[in-house]
Amino acid sequence: MGRTVGTSAPRKEGVDKVTGAARYVDDLVMDGMIHGVTVRSRVAHGRITGIRFDPGFPWDEIVVVTAADIPGRNMVTMIEEDQPFLAADLIKHPEEPVVLLAHADRDLVIEAAKHVHIEVEELPAIFSIDDGLAADVRLFKDDNVLKRFLIEKGDVDAAFAEPGLVVVEGEYETGAQEQLYLEAMGMIAVAAPGKGVTVWGSLQCPYYVHKALKPLFGLGDGEVRVIQAVTGGGFGGKEEYPSLIAGHAALLSWKAGGVPVKVIYDRAEDMVATTKRHPSRTRIRTAVKPDGELVAMDVVFDIDGGAYATLSAVVLSRGAIHAAGPYRCPNSRIHARAVATNHPPHGAFRGFGAPQSCFAYERHMERVAEAVGLSSVAIRRKNLLGPGDLTATSQVVEDQIDFPALLDQALEASDFEAKRAAFAKHNADPASHTRKGIGVATFYHGGGFTGSGEVHLASVVGVEALRGGRARVLAASTEIGQGTNTIFSQIASDALGVPYEWVEVAAPDTGRVPNSGPTVASRTCMVVGKLVQDAAGAVVTTLRKAGLLGEEHTPEQLAAAVDSYLERFGELRTFSQYKPPAGIVWDDKTYRGAAYAAYGWAAYVAEVEVDLVTYEPHLRGFWAVQDIGTVINPLLAAGQVEGGVTQAIGWALFEEVRWREGRMINNQLTNYIIPTAADVPPIHVAFAPVPFAHGPSGAKGVGELPMDGPAPAIVNAIEDALGIDVRRVPALPEVVMEAVLAKRAAAGEVQHV
């Protein structure tokens, strides 16, 4: 029988999804179920002075919950404990949940929400990183800094003082971004004193929800159960916020005496209230030798965390660790801050801080190249990390990566050099209505939790052998469209030596599966997949030790062995727990050492044609070459890259969150603009696998990497086309126009506007 790893095995749940058989949370109906809605604050900062219910409305028919009804602790368990499930007194952002309502008639309860008025004494509010740092308005401790990191290598100040170096400075900004998973969030809860709490919902991390619900109700492990319904996408957006919705649905059910309560967000509520990618500002100062060799980098990386700490500390950490880029630089200092503002909390989104800092360093490399008279390619080739080099956290690169060769592969695939020359000619033609450009970005992304994170998680995966040699993977890692079920089945079936079809993955349910950790951080394949492989391998080992299986076996022999084992012992379940690869050392205090067990490496090229009438940058081609280790499922992996690139195209060119007094005002699909198929060019995906010794069959992670590089590659291409230096995304046509007009004005041409 052939190995399934390395083949594009069909998606396990694919048929159910395309035929409509898959049951998402809003498809679930329970006896006596009622519908819950959330009433939110409408001001960014203030104190609640009263809650008024309009007279003449049948309030006695409606379940009403406020903070006073909470049986346990009114605090969402995360990194810092600062965010309440329901605001009781202080309002810190304009979408803060204050009152919950539920009724059997969904239309009625939606209407009822319009008749609840939260009276607030307003306080001054702040909405920018700078206003946060000024701390005239205090939102978090004394300085509004939710988290701060300092990552140092070498002696930056001394390096800048060396004579004969070219110093290049730049400031770069990125905007918020909505994850825009297809399925808006939702939960169903059944909760009652003495009966515990059970929730079903759209979520990424069952055990995060589990952990948050226990203190809310003062319950123990066994009294709270979290079950993932089929989930329509996550991208990080369903890492943390589902804990709030689960809590809200459960509080309503608790108050209503245990009837099931369904809380489903519509698109507008999901967009306006739930987390987005952190807006960022990065300041970089670089010292470089005249030949282009990097000597020192001094980076200040700031992100807008919003009103509560939530996941900002870890988003900041990942962004900061990657902020010096995949370059050899003996002296570097990265000072990173997550700043509190009165925006709704920003949160996890594919890339988790790294796309923000990557945009900055990959735009900045163009400035460095310009300053020393090198090409975009030459400056990168000269400084790319390789085996044995040190990263910004002083981690020795262990991956046996040939980064220049990977870059060459991208350049050749895209015909980069020939196009640069041809486009220069095209752009010099005064009769042309367009300007063409091509840009490149080189970058990397660590797989798994940062530093000692995986050790702390100590994830566990089980494999249960069933009659006839069938097997079931037991893990809390969720299928959110990315292919978890499929790759786990591939990995397990190879380890068991049985056909792919014999393996299934249990639906994540904290009552039935062990905690394999959250489905985040490009860890599902690399870290949890390895545990799947080990747990499945342990089934075989167990059967051999029992004398039921020889050194070699056919699937039928394994089936017979399992049947005998089950007859004799009743059940066969094996478990595997995470152990760090030897030699991985990380110091949480100094932020030095092996930040990640392995990295994905990539070189991306974007080709753009800018319309001079409308200033619209049209993408004409995209080339994505990466090393993600062994590719478990080529079709799914290419899909991850295409999807990530497309999401990054949206961030780079289209998606602008428009804020007014801390609220997103374009929270509809008519005015929050994501690219459609017509806006996305052909994406050419290639893998250059360097197997990772500690991943399943040599695999690393892929989910986040493709989000990091496209934005700078695209804006670098726009610079190549127009000679303009755009330092923020999204690079909307309006932004491009202003840069073009400014350039023309500087050149002495008449400016009409």
Residues that bind other proteins (CB under 8 A): 107-108, 110-111, 266, 268, 431, 433, 612-616, 618, 654, 658, 665-666, 668, 670-671, 673, 675-676, 678-679, 733-734, 737-738, 741, 752-753
Rounded least distance, CB 252 to other proteins, Å: 19
ω into 730 cis (within 30 of 0):
yes
Rounded least distance, CB 129 to other proteins, Å: 23
Residues sharing a CB contact under 8 Å with residue 85, sequence separation 6 or more, in sequence order: 67, 70, 74, 75, 76, 97, 216, 244, 247, 248, 251
Q: Which is nearer to other proteins, 469 or 662 (CB)?
A: 662
Rounded least distance, CB 268 to other proteins, Å: 6
Q: How far is the C-alpha of 8 from the C-alpha of 648, rounded, in Å?
A: 25
Rounded least distance, CB 732 to other proteins, Å: 8
Q: Which is nearer to other proteins, 515 or 666 (CB)?
A: 666
Rounded least distance, CB 655 to other proteins, Å: 10
Q: Could you give the C-alpha distances from 636 to 23, 33, 291, 445, 677, in angstroms and in order? A: 22, 37, 42, 19, 19
Rounded least distance, CB 8 to other proteins, Å: 30
**Which element (helix H / strand E) includes 624?**
strand 617-627
Rounded least distance, CB 617 to other proteins, Å: 12
Q: What are the backbone angles phi and psi of residue 215, rounded to the nearest 5°?
A: -70, -30
Rounded least distance, CB 124 to other proteins, Å: 25
Residue 250 has, within 13 A of its CA and on its CB side, a CA count of 35
Helix (H, G, I), strand (E, B) or coil at 396: strand
For residues 721 and 620, is the Cβ–Cβ distance under 8 A? no
Q: How far is the C-alpha of 119 from the C-alpha of 153, rounded, in Å?
A: 52
Q: Which is nearer to other proteins, 649 or 702 (CB)?
A: 649
Q: Which is nearer to other proteins, 182 or 753 (CB)?
A: 753
Q: How far is the C-alpha of 740 from the C-alpha of 743, rounded, in Å?
A: 5
Q: How far is the C-alpha of 625 from the C-alpha of 601, rounded, in Å?
A: 9
Rounded least distance, CB 467 to other proteins, Å: 48
Q: Which is nearer to other proteins, 293 or 616 (CB)?
A: 616
For residues 600 and 691, is the Cβ–Cβ distance under 8 A? no
Q: Which is nearer to other proteins, 370 or 679 (CB)?
A: 679
Rounded least distance, CB 678 to other proteins, Å: 4
Residue 546 DSSP label: T
Helix (H, G, I), strand (E, B) or coil at 429: coil
Q: Which is nearer to other proteins, 428 or 431 (CB)?
A: 431
Rounded least distance, CB 329 to other proteins, Å: 38
Rounded least distance, CB 744 to other proteins, Å: 11
Rounded least distance, CB 96 to other proteins, Å: 20
For residues 520 and 482, is the Cβ–Cβ distance under 8 A? no
Q: Which is nearer to other proteins, 416 or 651 (CB)?
A: 651
Q: How far is the C-alpha of 165 from the C-alpha of 533, rounded, in Å?
A: 51
Q: Which is nearer to other proteins, 575 or 659 (CB)?
A: 659
Q: Which is nearer to other proteins, 244 or 619 (CB)?
A: 619
Cβ burial of 33 (10 Å; 0-12, 13-18, 19+) is middle
Q: Which is nearer to other proteins, 580 or 733 (CB)?
A: 733
Q: How far is the C-alpha of 103 from the C-alpha of 108, rounded, in Å?
A: 7
Helix (H, G, I), strand (E, B) or coil at 65: strand
Q: How far is the C-alpha of 189 from the C-alpha of 261, rounded, in Å?
A: 5
For residues 350 and 236, is the Cβ–Cβ distance under 8 A? yes
Residue 247 has, within 13 A of its CA and on its CB side, a CA count of 35
Q: How far is the C-alpha of 493 from the C-alpha of 12, rounded, in Å?
A: 13
DSSP string, 85-126: SS-SSEE-STT-EEEEEEES-HHHHHHHHTTEEEEEEE----
CA 673 to the chain's CA centroid: 20
Rounded least distance, CB 230 to other proteins, Å: 23
Rounded least distance, CB 107 to other proteins, Å: 6
For residues 44 and 125, is the Cβ–Cβ distance under 8 A? yes
Q: Which is nearer to other proteins, 691 or 733 (CB)?
A: 733
Q: Which residue has tokens 């970089």? A: 284
Q: How far is the C-alpha of 558 from the C-alpha of 494, rounded, in Å?
A: 12
Cβ burial of 748 (10 Å; 0-12, 13-18, 19+) is exposed
Q: Which is nearer to other proteins, 107 or 552 (CB)?
A: 107
Residues sharing a CB contact under 8 Å with residue 18, sequence separation 6 or more, in sequence order: none
Q: Which is nearer to other proteins, 19 or 670 (CB)?
A: 670
Torsion, CA 474, CA 475, CA 480, CA 481, rounded to 10:
-50
Q: Which is nearer to other proteins, 165 or 680 (CB)?
A: 680
